[in-house]
Amino acid sequence: MRQVTTEQLYRFLREHNVMDYVLSQYMGVSESIVRGCFKHDLSRHGKPLQFSADNILKMNDALPRLAADIRACELHFGQGETFTNRCGREYDRSIAQQVKDGIMRFFSVKDFASRVLGWNVLKCKARLCSTGSVTYSNVERQDCERLNDELIAIASVLESYKVVADKTE
């Protein structure tokens, strides 16, 4: 177990495009409390919000469950209708639905795919989000493998984290 502060956890979640409300759902705590504590918003008494010891325990309990669910989102190429275009590239039409059912629950898909695959936002939108697009669900095997590698890496890191309280001055 690697001990991290809530600041380090927040930075990791931001860098890897995990949506804000996901952790709060797994913790069973209000999203505004989690977001306010991560950003150290001021309370009504003018002091920065911080996670209580109880919320840190809930967070440590939630991280392995979150990691297991992210790991379960692994994409399976070739399960649906595959086709080959004129250039010889093979695509699987079912990948977009797998992304919607799995990855979209945890990540901002456009940001996630643009970071992992190097796609621009329009390409992400056309291939993964816009069902009316001509190129909708044109995802290759290599893209699928890179997304799976990233999912497994994020899940492994989250599993290894044990959150400790931030140091107060």
CA distance 127 to 125: 6
Q: Where are the domains of the chain?
A: 2-72+160-164, 82-154
Dig out the tokens for 49 from the structure: 């919000």
Q: What is the pLDDT of residues 124-166, one digit of tens each?
A: 888 887 777 767 777 888 989 999 999 999 999 999 999 998 7
Topology adopted by domain 2-72+160-164:
434 Repressor (Amino-terminal Domain) (1.10.260)
Q: What is the pLDDT of residues 78-132, one digit of tens each?
A: 877 777 877 777 887 788 888 888 888 999 888 888 899 998 888 888 888 777 7
Q: How far is CA 94 from the centre of its chain?
A: 20
Task: State the distance between the two ends of the chain, measured CA to CA, in whole angstroms.
Answer: 26
Tell me the β-bridge partners of 4.
Answer: 163
What is the pLDDT at residue 138? 79
Q: What are phi and psi of 87, to 5 degrees?
A: -85, -5
Other beta carbons within 10 Å of 148: 16
